Amino acid sequence: MPLSKGPINMDHEVVDALISPDGRLDILSRIEVGKLLDTSHGGLYHTLRNCALAVLNCGNEPVDGKELLERNKAFEITLIQRERGIKLDLKAAPASAFVDGRMIKGIHEHLFAVLRDILYVGDTIIGNPQFDLGSSKGVTNAVFHILRNAGVVHSMTAPNLVVCWGGHSISHDEYEYTTAVGYQLGLRGLDICTGCGPGAMKGPMRGAAIAHAMQRIGNGRYLGFTEPGVIAVESPNPIVNDLVIFPDIEKRLEAFVRSGHGIVIFPGGAGTAEEVLYILGILLHPANAAMPFPLILSGPRSASDYLEQIDQFISGTLGERARCLYRIIVADPPRVAQEIEAGIKKVRAFRKENGDAYYFNWLLEIDHEFQRPFHPTHESMRWIALGRDQPDHKLAANLRRAFSGVVSGNVKDHGIRKVEQDGPFEIHGDPELMASMDALLTSFVKQQRMKLRGSDYRPCYRIIK
């Protein structure tokens, strides 16, 4: 691996390097290489470049998408075809991804996971009539194929995958709590799936990895699911041993609930609220009424106010039926793990009785409203239907879109630039719903959950009551 130092870029050292695939995707056709290097609108290069840059930034201080791209304007990635296979030619890559002239093994694996998934989605999923992305079944089929192509679907594995959601920018107390919960889950032989980033995504994996070592479990799985819009903010943490990149947030969220057998939600900000609304909206669907799905909201004693505010928001928007779908456990990691383990036993019995796969929840009904990609713009945010004249699961889908827009305006490159250019997104709706949303977002601001670092937060949204 030839390695040479590049220039200093905004106080960040960079290097140039040629990277070999190590047996993964070592041979590509000219057509595939052409698609990956296509810089036109709809081409794959910009997605490849941005995701690769995020992976190479692993271990560095988290930044928003706009800052990461601007800090690394000189970064380039090119595919070179040779007789014995391809190489990646990196220009001005973050030097932190290398040690003694060689790329860190985990970052190397993640880099080629990016190549694998972007190529598969762009070459096989998009535009393929086999995957009707305009239908609910078509989207679910696409999610399954992406997971199978990534090698994370294992037919002979009993249900044991716990999805952990929460913020990437949390307090030290909250981070240590997520680690303690992960440790208790790992002691019980449970694997972890998160959004792959820092904070509440890394903590459970860290705890489970220690517990797996204590229990001499050598094949523990630490799955990280991400998508191009958030990977810059949530660079894959070093513990992730299977990284999967989905084309959008909706398919990423569906992958979590189809693959996982239970969910633990830790403190976070607007993105965590989006995830809460997503899973509640699905479980509120009448077709899923009898399906067991353990769902726990948990945090340390210091997060009691946060958990109470989330609970009040759900009560004020989706009502008591939604509140019955989850349990809140404060400052008790062993109980969280015990409840999840007991719930997963019910999941296994239900899947066995109904002939559903352990590795992918085919029977779960997901309304197409939860699957259609939402692209936050000032116009699309203004026209989100946030009234009470719709079923609860439809309202949850629309509330999720509103929070997705806030996430975009806070940390995603595209959203940040939109807000800088045209001002805050406007969110309209029923006065009571808007009051509940305003109260929750205001509490996030006060608790410094809306920025990656620092307390100087300028809202990217405006609530219109």
Q: Over the stretch 12-28, which tens digit does the pLDDT of each residue have? A: 789 999 998 876 676 78
Asked whether residue 236 falls in the same domain as residue 110, the answer is: no
CA pair distance 174, 166, nearest whole angstrom? 10
Average pLDDT over residues 433-440: 95
Q: Where does residue 449 fall: left (phi above 0), alpha (psi -120 to 50 degrees), or beta otherwise?
A: alpha
pLDDT at residue 273 is higher than 90: yes
Stated as kind and residue range, the H or E segment containing 89 is: strand 85-94
Sign of CA dihedral 299, 303, 308, 311: negative
C-alpha 361/C-alpha 279 separation (Å) is 14
Residue 69: per-residue pLDDT:
80
What are 265's two structure tokens? 């939600």
pLDDT of residue 280: 98
* pLDDT at 63 > cutoff 90: no
* Phi, psi for 432 (deg, rounded to 5): -65, -40
Q: What is the pTM of this model?
A: 0.93
Determine the pLDDT at residue 7.
42
**CATH number assigned to the domain comprising residue 102:** 3.30.1850.10
- Tell me: the pLDDT tens digits for 220-245? 999 999 999 888 778 899 999 999 99
Give the span between the Cα atoms of 266 and 203, in whole angstroms: 10
Continuous segment of H or E residues that includes residue 295: strand 295-299
What is the band of 10 on the pLDDT scale with cuts at 50, 70, 90? very low
Q: Domain of residue 191: give its range.
A: 130-465
d(CA 170, CA 240): 19
Largest CA distance in the chain: 65
| Pair (243, 311) in one structural domain | yes
Final residue in a domain of this structure, among 77, 94, 126: 126
Task: Tell me the residue type at 23.
Answer: G
Q: Does residue 107 sit in the same domain as residue 174?
A: no
C-alpha distances in angstroms, 410 versus 233, 235, 372, 415?
A: 10, 16, 22, 7
Other C-beta atoms closer than 10 Å to the C-beta of 290 total 8
Beta bridge partners of 269: none
> Once rounded to an integer, what is the mean pLDDT over residues 408-413?
89
pLDDT at 454: 55
What is residue 83's predicted lDDT score, i.e. its pLDDT? 65
**Pair (141, 267) in one structural domain:** yes
User: Do 90 and 142 belong together in one domain?
Assistant: no
DSSP string, 342-355: HHHHHHHHHHHHHT
Q: For residue 400, is pLDDT > 80? A: yes
What element of type H or E holds 36?
helix 30-36
Looking from the CA of 448 toward its CB, the CA atoms found within 13 Å total 8
Please report which confidence band the pLDDT of residue 431 belongs to, taking 50, 70 and 90 as the band edges: very high
How many CB atoms neighbour CB 299 within 10 A? 28
DSSP string computed for 112-124? HHHHHHHHHIIII
pLDDT beyond 90 at 70: no
Count up the domains in the chain and report the number.
2
| Domain boundary residue, one of 92, 126, 160 | 126
Comparing C-alpha atoms, which of 417, 414, 459, 464 is closest to residue 441?
459
Q: Tell me, yes or no, whether 160 and 93 share the same domain.
A: no
**Which of the residue ranges 15-24, 30-39, 132-141, 453-462 has the most confident prediction, judged by mean pLDDT?**
132-141
Dist CA 160 CA 208 (whole Å): 12
pLDDT at 34: 86
Kindly report the average pLDDT of the chain as a whole number. 92
CA–CA gap between residue 77 and residue 93 (Å, rounded): 9
| Pair 121, 235 in one domain | no
Beta bridge partners of 428: 464
Q: Per residue in 18-42, is it b (16+ CB within 10 Å) or e — as a string? A: ebbbeeebeebeeebbebbeeeeee
pLDDT at 8: 40
**If you search the block for the tokens 């081409």, which residue do you land on?**
43
| More confidently predicted of 166 and 447 | 166
Q: At what angle do helices 392-411 and 270-283 cross, to 10 degrees?
A: 160
Contact 330, 298 (CB under 8 A): yes
Residues 209 and 78 in one domain: no
pLDDT of residue 127: 87
Q: In the prediction, which pLDDT does 62 show? A: 66
Alpha-helical segments (H) within 100-244: 105-120, 136-149, 172-187, 202-214
Shared domain for 81 and 182, answered yes or no, is: no
**Average pLDDT, integer, range 386-414:** 94
Give pLDDT, residue 4. Answer: 52
Query: 410: domain CATH number?
Result: 3.40.50.450
Half-sphere exposure (CA, 13 Å, Cβ side) for 406?
A: 30
pLDDT in the model for residue 223 = 98
Average pLDDT over residues 100-117: 93
3-state helix, strand, coil in the chain (%, to 5): 50, 15, 35
Determine the average pLDDT of the residues in 422-427.
Answer: 96
Co-location of 274 and 198 in the same domain:
yes
User: Would you state the pLDDT for residue 303?
Assistant: 96
Query: Which of 102-106, 109-113, 119-123, 297-301 has the largest mean confidence?
Result: 297-301
